[in-house]
Amino acid sequence: SQQGEEDPQALSIQEGENATMNCSYKTSINNLQWYRQNSGRGLVHLILIRSNEREKHSGRLRVTLDTSKKSSSLLITASRAADTASYFCAPRVTGGGNKLTFGTGTQLKVEL
């Protein structure tokens, strides 16, 4: 069963603009992870934020987590055409062991 729901479903921006995608989840989590998937390829882990963290940065990525609202956001700054991909959040549910399910995903298109 899916634990995360993302919005928007699709996002189209110009190169150089920022892209923000949001994830809402249902239950208590240990951490929340974000992954990227280029068309028809495997997923690549981007960043992990723990439940006791509020914000985390990695290069052009900024992730926030609000456990009171059960939501997270991923910001990609100064986007590039190579950022075109699908982005999925994956809340790691407390007590879920090794189970990791993915949100509905945001399809990002960055145009030149």
Nearest Cα to Cα of residue 31 among 74, 88, 89: 89
What is the total count of residues that contact another protein (CB under 8 A)? 26
Q: Tell me: does residue 71 bind another protein (CB under 8 A).
A: no
Closer of 16 and 57 to another protein (Cβ): 57
To another protein, the closest distance from the beta carbon of 110 in angstroms equals: 18
Q: Tell me: does residue 33 bind another protein (CB under 8 A).
A: yes
Nearest Cα to Cα of residue 52 among 24, 21, 76, 30: 30
**In contact, 24 and 89? CB cutoff 8 Å:** no
Burial of 10 from C-beta contacts in 10 A (0-12 / 13-18 / 19+): exposed
Closer of 68 and 98 to another protein (Cβ): 98
Chain contacts with another protein (rule: CB under 8 A):
2, 30-31, 33, 35, 40-45, 48, 50, 88, 90, 92, 97-105, 107
